[in-house]
Amino acid sequence: MSEEAACNAVAWRTTSATRPAGADRGGGFVSEIVFIAKESDPNEGRVAGSVESVKKLKSLGFDVVVEAGAGLGSRIPDQEYEKAGARVGTAADAKTADVILKVRRPSAQEISGYRSGAVVIAIMDPYGNEEAISAMAGAGLTTFAMELMPRITRAQSMDVLSSQANLAGYQAVIDAAYEYDRALPMMMTAAGTVPAAKIFVMGAGVAGLQAIATARRLGAVVSATDVRPAAKEQVASLGAKFIAVEDEEFKAAETAGGYAKEMSGEYQVKQAALVAEHIAKQDIVITTALIPGRPAPRLVTREMLDSMKPGSVVVDLAVERGGNIEGAEAGKVTEVGGVRIVGHLNVAGRIAASASLLYAKNLVTFLETMVSKETKALALNMEDELVKATALTHGGAVVHPAFGGAMRGEK
């Protein structure tokens, strides 16, 4: 570690006088404690720790405390955590924890139960939640937003957006099939032929590509669209037809980080016309378009819905950010002109057992980068590229450049 980096490293090592009895590291220090919290949102079935991640945390030298009932929504009983080496505790145990792992950003009530200086790692949903971020800074917490993990090779195994979006794309097709009330594959029988369902996926990111792959496995005829040129080859590789206005703007419509750029009004008009014509022929439409930090772009209008056949289904995976589909309601399945609009919240959480398994691996892999190989103590290097990208608050201040100005009232 360089001298500059060493100056920015903070180690959480506490004496046994301020901690319950734990495994002695030597020199009067006890093991640092990782607390895996039970989510306070009653609609959140995911948990920030799996049996395997608990074993890994133990191997890294941590004492692990799991809040009672934390894993029940993901079908992990307390006894399984105990077998992996964790202690099952209560919410009050968070007060003694050095690291707190969560799925969602802690509430004000939860924050009041954390000690100043604790590290909190979760999906923080920072955009538009400046007051909540400020509260975490005021509580002296060092917090990390997993969804801000940079899309670089080193961080692939920590990419929460990808792990959860992958499952959301799968579940979107399952939800669509449930609402569709018909078979998806073509079936040739003595009684006649059932035609294959036509499914159109809007947005070919991680969620969209998994939706395409799942729909194809189920036998549907699949098409897809995206504003990123690279998506065309990916869509084709999965056996789907690519639908887009492929002009010069389209060829430059991707950021260095792999996200879609916001397109000009002129392009949007041309693309909307092409999409409108295509949607009228579809049985199921799944929308997945999100731009970080901005409301979800409107992709499907009421006029497009009116052009679809009665009994068609549309699924909006962006409903939590305002929705891609006009008329979509967060947390509801509604019907407009005979077309069902599916607006389930927390779609990855609808298959919590699988989602938690991947999320817990994302967390423990990230946390491992903060553990000193020499001392097995938690050491935070503020100059590390992963830390710089994901740290929201530290030392009583908001430290992320994208949100710090907002805390100070800057425009």
Residues with catalytic annotation? 151, 156, 159, 162, 259
Token output for 203: 């947005």
Buried b / exposed e over 197-214, threshold 16 CB at 10 Å, is bbbbbbbbbbbbbbbbbb
Angle, to 10 degrees, between the axis of helix 160-180 and the axis of helix 206-217?
40
Contact between 222 and 256 under an 8 Å Cβ cutoff? The reply is no
For the chain, the three-class secondary structure string (H helix, E strand, C coil) is CCHHHHHCEEEECCEHHHCCCCCEEECCEECCEEEECCCCCCCCCCCCCCHHHHHHHHHCCCEEEEECCCCHHHCCCHHHHHHCCCEEECHHHHHHCCEEEEEECCCHHHHCCCCCCCEEEEECCCCCCHHHHHHHHHCCCEEEEHHHCCCCHHHHHHCHHHHHHHHHHHHHHHHHHHHHCCCCCCEEECCEEECCCEEEEECCCHHHHHHHHHHHHCCCEEEEECCCCHHHHHHHHCCCEECCCCCHHHHCCECCCCCECCCCHHHHHHHHHHHHHHHCCCCEEEECCCCCCCCCCCCECHHHHHHCCCCCEEEECCHHHCCCECCCCCCCEEEECCEEEECCCCCHHHHHHHHHHHHHHHHHHHHHCCECCCCCCEEEECCCHHHHHHEEEECCEECCHHHHHHHCCCC
Residue 38 carries which side chain, given as an amino acid letter? K
Contact between 23 and 31 under an 8 Å Cβ cutoff? The reply is yes
Contact between 137 and 393 under an 8 Å Cβ cutoff? The reply is yes
CA distances from 44 to 38, 39, 350, 356 (A): 9, 7, 9, 11
